[in-house]
Amino acid sequence: MPTLGAKAPSFTLPSTSGSTVSLADFAGRKVVLYFYPRDNTPGCTRQACDFRDQHTALAKAGAVVLGVSSDSLKSHTGFRAKFDLPFDLLVDEGNRVASAYSAFGEKLMYGKKVKGVIRSTFLIDEQGKLASVWSPVKVDGHVQAVLAALSGSPAAAPTTKATPRKGAVGGAKKASVANRSLAAPKSASAGKVSQRAANAAASTKGRGYRTPTRVKGVKSTRGSVK
């Protein structure tokens, strides 16, 4: 991996601009050079669209964005047009430039070691030196981290859960409330009646009292059975 503060490896590559592009073309300007595995794949598409959506902010920070992969120029041109990407894509045939930046090599994919492009981004300063390096890159929140580096401020960690507002019930308490049964609560009077009935039943059982069996045609002290 190239050392921070060292000269960024030079390159000259075919691009979607219709001509070759060299790092030397951007002397005196900041360059965001990002290597990605392949056009039109989910992660690479999300990353490209993130750079697209933040392109105005990146340009205001004085940076030029360049995407690099080993896809053909035809593939790059279609990918760029399909997602309306406002920056050039460069063709790194054989991954020679990616190798020079240590963005090609052994990596883990689905738990297996494979050899390929390691998603990486390099911020190159006006003197052509490496100012920041992200490798391997996690797509979510990455462009915000690049913008933070360009502005000289620390990058905010990606937010995965909403932060409770001041005075709001804490997350654990909310979860507890959400998981409670929605059955209607018993009233105090209903509870008292239920308890008296239970006490009476227990008392009757304790005395060994049995309800008399009614026989048809025989009167009882409680009235006749019809």
Work out the pLDDT band at 195, boundaries 50, 70, 90: low
Q: Which residue, among 172, 138, 135, 131, has the nearest Cα to 157 in the 3D structure?
A: 138
Catalytic, 44? Answer yes
Rounded mean pLDDT, 78-104: 97
Q: Could you tell me the residue ranges of all domains in the chain?
A: 28-151
What top-level class would CATH report for the domain 28-151? alpha beta
Could you tell me the sign of the dihedral formed by the alpha carbons of 131, 137, 138, 143, in that order? positive
How far is CA 57 from each of CA 64, 74, 117, 120, rounded to the nearest angstrom? 11, 28, 27, 20
Does residue 199 carry a pLDDT above 90? no
Distance of CA 100 to the CA centre of its chain: 30
Does residue 202 carry a pLDDT above 90? no
Question: Which is higher by pLDDT, 161 or 15?
Answer: 15
d(CA 80, CA 58): 18
- Is the CB of residue 107 less than 8 Å from the CB of residue 135? no
Kindly name the residue from 23, 31, 33, 44 that is annotated as catalytic: 44
pLDDT of the residue at 111? 83
Instruction: Flag whether the pTM goes above 0.75.
Output: no
Distance of CA 171 to the CA centre of its chain: 20
pLDDT of the residue at 154? 59
pLDDT of the residue at 45? 98
